[in-house]
A and B are shown apart, each in its own frame.
Chain A
Amino acid sequence: MNLVKIHRPRISMSRRESLWAYATISPWIIGFLVFILGPMIASLYFSFTEYNIIDAPRWIGLQNYQKVLTDPFFWHSLGVTLKFAVFALPLNLVFGFMIAVLLNQKIRGLKIWRTVYYLPSVVAGVAVALLFVRIFSPSQGILNPFLKLFGIEGPHWFDDPNWSVPALVIMSLWSVGGGMIIYLAGLQGVPTDLYDAAKVDGANRAQRFRFVTLPMVSPVIFYNLVMGLIGTFQYFTEVYVISAGTGGPVRSTLFYNLYLYQNAFRYFKMGYASTMAWILFLIVVILTLLVFRSSSYWVYYEGQLRGRH
């Protein structure tokens, strides 16, 4: 009797705890099923169909996938996106990290600089794109007159298909502060005793940076790189605004996500757009896995050290 009495509440307590756990996380579970997992499966299905939203989806097997592979605009939009990524990601990484290193010094007015550099990150979106269209404008803008001070004849930026992507890269650098703040948090997390130890060992400034700072913040760099990669494939608002949704001039800013949007909501080719979405998903997974794979060569996790000993 006694034993049972003691025993029973214990079981029901752990069961009650489980119930509380599932009850409290239920909003997320419902949201995950209704807004993430369900739609993912449905879009995989749509990708094998012809679907214009009005009529029921019609199964066409792999035709969408075959069509994608021979669609010149698909390859073009992929190329535009990668071209942007190849320049924007490393430049944002280097500038963001450099500014973070500078802001991690003991200098006067630190708070002001931090504020100034982070400010653009809070105003992203349509207004900023509209502003930069005007800054780059050859007739009304301020960038080309500024370049002229150095004797450089500025290009026509958003009016010139060869210069529209570089203009977007420059524009992306304006909000470098978003990445910078993450690097800064990483830099400030480096324990000072590591620097002291390195100093005792006779390491100079450059060596301390190379052998203490870089390895310690490499996980943060890694995180930013992965998120930046995913973000590039979602790049939309800026190009939609500067080209009024066309991807112009001459499709030079037809980013992957914009082309997907056009297929889905301009031409109502929902099946084809779903195919593009799944190919995008695969590309992102593969690229992320590549970055993850490479990470063992250049990302240092503190836990590794503990594991080795």
Chain B
Amino acid sequence: MIAQSPPPLQTKKIRRSLWGIKTQDMIANFLTTIVLAAGGVVIIMPLLFMISTALKDRNQLRQVPPLLIPQEITTVKVNGEDEPLYNVTVDGQSRQMALIKNLPGGKGRFVDPQNPNDVQDLAIAGQSAVRQLEMHFENIPEALTQMKFGQRLVNTLLVTFIGMAGVLFSCSLVAYGFSRFRAPWLNVLFIVLLSTIMLPSQVRLIPTYVLFQKLGWVDTLLPLIVPAFFANAYDVFLLRQFFMTIPLELDDAAKIDGASPLEILMYVILPQARPALVTVAIFHFLYAWNDFYEPLIYLHSPENWTLAVGLQTFDALYAQNTHLIMAASLIMILPPIILFFLAQRIFTQGIVFTGLKQ
């Protein structure tokens, strides 16, 4: 009844399709890698440009197009003067000679540094200057002094770390409340909390500013620190999602041992929730470190500025000092980058967002 297909043919067929899938996958993977690598170069290039610009001096900045490796034309002493050294081709032989004089018609007078009497007049365009690596690490301390880095760093660290403590304290307490207790209207309040994520901050900006002004807090760090102690929707949500995964049996066991709800939070929930707490701490660090809008609005005197405001002002005053601006920028982005490499798993797993899918 059922038609029997000859077995050998079938195996052949399967084998062929298997081979086909394998090559297909290999080609696909190869193309994927190529595309990713090309994109990766585009992503990394700006950072390399920043590093290289930060290490150049004024003279090197004038090179067009800019060189990605900070280099300077090598000079040699000829008759007591520094002259640029060139790789020149004379009679089919290549040798190194110094350019001592520009001549009309795009030509130049080259001499052998060892033997100043050996003079050749050659077209400059055909020769290439000898360059050497020359990095100006002194740009970094100079930039830091000029932008008053120390003071701004202290302000930034105060805002960042006191704020971080505030966020961790308030958000874990609130998240605990939303994840472990039942009470009338609690669900409604949670929806209100969530909806504040979508609220554009401008709509509360001006009265908040007026409030801080009336309190005499404008031009102090307080407006940047105090709100952190009153929880925020993102972090409460993230922590609540995490707390919900901690089994209630642990709470019950502690309860039987006579622990109060606060003790349960301290000794049961928080130790279990370390990954989530670390995530909240890291994201708050990045937010506070990079934040520009609020410090710009609230901090008026230079001695109160954070790094972000200090850096922007430094640029507004000395924009032509590209090398120093880039040196200061490099220092500014270094802590987030170091943190990123230390805590890569937390960033690239996107835990922060997975909860939001529900």
Contacts and interface: CB of A to CB of B under 8 A. Distances in A.
B4 interface: no
A262 to B, nearest CB: 12
B224 interface: no
A134 B230 contact: no
Nearest to B214: A53
A177 B340 CA distance: 13
Contact of A128 (B35, B202, B333): B333
Max chain A C-beta neighbours (<10 A), residue from B68, B209, B357: B357
A27 B46 contact: no
B44 A278 contact: no
Contacts of A20: 177, 181, 261
A120 B64 CA distance: 26
Contact of B40 (A53, A116, A233): A116
B290 interface: yes
B312 A273 contact: no
B114 interface: no
Interface string A281-297: 10010001000000000
A42 B211 CA distance: 10
Given A99-B39, A107-B32, A264 B206 contact: yes
A230 B53 CA distance: 35
A127 B208 contact: no
Contacts of A17: 181-183
Interface stretch (A4-12, A61-69, A138-146): A138-146
Given A31-B227, A105-B28, A127-B332, A115 B206 contact: no
B336 interface: yes
Given A24-B177, A189-B357, A126 B311 contact: yes
Interface in B152-173: 170, 173
Contact of B293 (A102, A119, A236): A236
A20 B290 CA distance: 36
Q: How large is the interface on A (under 10, 10 to 19, 20 to 34, 35 or more residues)?
A: 35 or more
Interface residues of B, number: 93
B252 to A, nearest CB: 14
Nearest to B61: A140
A18 B230 CA distance: 20
Given A20-B181, A27-B174, A189-B354, A122 B336 contact: yes
Nearest to B329: A127
Q: Which of B173, B205, B332, B344 has the most CB of A within 10 A?
A: B205
A189 B357 CA distance: 10
A102 B312 contact: no
A40 B203 contact: yes
Interface in A164-219: 174, 177, 181-182, 184-186, 189, 219
A43 B46 contact: no
Given A17-B183, A125-B292, A277-B206, A102 B200 contact: no
B10 interface: no
A219 B316 CA distance: 42
Contacts of A264: 205-206, 209
B174 A122 contact: no
Interface string B259-272: 00100010000000
B200 A124 contact: no
Interface stretch (A70-78, A82-90, A237-245): A237-245
A241 B332 CA distance: 15
B33 A109 contact: yes
Contacts of B265: 24
B211 A39 contact: yes
Interface in B14-73: 28-29, 32-33, 35-36, 39-40, 43-47, 49-50, 53, 61, 64-66, 68
A240 B296 contact: yes
28 contacts: A17-B183, A21-B183, A22-B183, A24-B181, A25-B186, A31-B170, A35-B227, A43-B203, A43-B207, A106-B29, A115-B341, A115-B348, A117-B40, A120-B43, A122-B336, A125-B290, A127-B311, A134-B53, A134-B325, A135-B49, A140-B66, A140-B322, A142-B68, A223-B357, A237-B292, A244-B316, A270-B210, A273-B206
Given A130-B325, A264-B209, 18 more contacts: A24-B176, A27-B229, A28-B170, A42-B210, A43-B207, A107-B36, A122-B339, A126-B312, A131-B326, A145-B64, A174-B46, A182-B350, A182-B353, A236-B292, A270-B206, A277-B202, A277-B205, A278-B203
Interface of A: 14, 17-18, 20-25, 27-32, 34-36, 38-40, 42-43, 46, 53, 99, 102-103, 105-109, 111, 113-120, 122-128, 130-132, 134-135, 139-142, 145, 148, 174, 177, 181-182, 184-186, 189, 219-220, 223, 226, 230, 233-234, 236-237, 240-241, 244, 257, 260-261, 264-265, 270, 273-274, 276-278, 280-281, 284, 288
